[in-house]
Amino acid sequence: MKRCLSGIKPTGNLTLGNYIGALREFKKYQDEYETFIFIADLHALTLPIDPAFLRSNTKDIVAFYIAAGLDPQKSTIFLQSDVSAHSEINTILENYLYMGELSRMTQFKDKSSKMKHEAVGLGIFTYPVLMAGDILLYNADVVPVGDDQRQHVELTRDLVHRFNARYNKEVFVMPQAISPKVGARIMSLSEPTKKMSKSDPKGDIFLKDEPNIIRKKIMSAVTDTGNEIKYDPVNKPGISNLLTIYAALSNKTIEEAEKEFEGMSQYGTFKKIVADKVLEELIPFKQRYEEVLKSGIIDQVLTEGAKRASYIANKTLRKVKKTVGLYVHD
């Protein structure tokens, strides 16, 4: 059976972007692939974060995974920090990626440009190495991600070519990034030329927001001065973003969604329909999330998940150690 792996880092409250670009997609794979979905908690340390928030947000994400339809019997749900092989393989793989390529990563450039040079942690620079290890430990064939993470999966592919060629054998499986056709990059509602992001929240819809807040945010989303509901990300980024959200949640193409609003000349009416669609999806989702939290199953899911994930990850780690010449003994 082919493998699927993905994760979310608990850096902030999850957004509608995380939901449409990633979370909502995961359950589609669990019947066809052996699926590993983790909480990238070590990655969350790459930016300053309050320890109590990190802990509670980690639990929240497990509950969100289950609420989004991941079945812990079918999918392995685990914490990155519970599987020490992630840190171990990171130490090895650091030697196979280069400073030049890491410094060209968009996420590193974006995040580090907002910090004082002296305060840019090493972890944010080497983030793609840890992420490559996450993927390669499980020999993942497919990696469902939103647009912003595709570059890191591409770098992992470069690493696989480099590593397998150096040792002249297929040590690692070549992973493939897959993103939803509609909604791989949801933009901020207040600055629709910027990605909706959980660690830099501007114009975000949070999955934990109350329905009245979500409606208010959508009704006050930035749009342009025209009145046509048309997909035109350059000239109408706000309307295009709302149209994308609507299309993604309705399982429609952008063209189908556009057709639905043909002739409508009131942005207010359009926004109300988008808000209804978002709430139709998020209200029951949040109820399921609350039920999961109440059910008290989270620790058990993570304990089981860590066992299953460690077994696979340690097997790969052992193979990698042998390949590079480390002395592996029983």
Q: How far apart are CA 302 and CA 300, in angstroms?
A: 5
Per CB under 6 A, the segment of 194-202, 212-220, 291-299, 318-326 that binds ligand AQP is 194-202
Can 195 be counted among the known catalytic residues? yes
Query: Minimum distance from CB of 302 to ligand AQP (Å)?
Result: 18
> Which of the 8 DSSP states describes residue 187?
B
Residue 81 binds to ligand AQP (criterion: CB under 6 A):
no
Per CB under 6 A, the segment of 6-14, 64-72, 73-81, 269-277 that binds ligand AQP is 6-14
Nearer to ligand AQP, 22 or 218 (CB): 22
Contact (Cβ atoms closer than 8 angstroms) between residue 270 and residue 229: yes
Query: Minimum distance from CB of 14 to ligand AQP (Å)?
Result: 8
Selected binder of ligand AQP within 30, 81, 197, 316 (CB under 6 A): 197
The helix (run of H) or strand (run of E) holding residue 233 is none
Can 2 be counted among the known catalytic residues? no
Per CB under 6 A, the segment of 9-17, 236-244, 263-271, 301-309 that binds ligand AQP is 9-17
Q: How far apart are CA 76 and CA 305, in angstroms?
A: 5
Written as one string, the DSSP assignment of 14-51 is -BHHHIIIIIHHHGGGTTTSEEEEEE-HHHHTTS---H
Let me know if 114 is exposed, middle or buried by CB neighbors in 10 A (0-12, 13-18, 19+). exposed
Residue 149 binds to ligand AQP (criterion: CB under 6 A):
yes
Residue 133 binds to ligand AQP (criterion: CB under 6 A):
no
DSSP bridge partners of 38: 7, 78
Cβ-based neighbours of 153, under 8 Å, separated by 6 or more: 135, 143, 145, 175, 176, 177
Contact (Cβ atoms closer than 8 angstroms) between residue 168 and residue 124: no
Can 9 be counted among the known catalytic residues? no
Nearer to ligand AQP, 81 or 197 (CB): 197
Query: Minimum distance from CB of 184 to ligand AQP (Å)?
Result: 6
Residue 186 binds to ligand AQP (criterion: CB under 6 A):
yes
Per CB under 6 A, the segment of 17-25, 233-241, 292-300, 316-324 that binds ligand AQP is 17-25
User: Residue 149's closest CA among 172, 178, 191?
Assistant: 178
* Other Cβ atoms closer than 10 A to 281: 18
Query: Residues with catalytic annotation?
Result: 111, 195, 198
Q: Which residues bind ligand AQP (CB under 6 A)?
A: 8-9, 11-12, 15, 17-18, 20-22, 145-146, 148-149, 184-186, 195-200
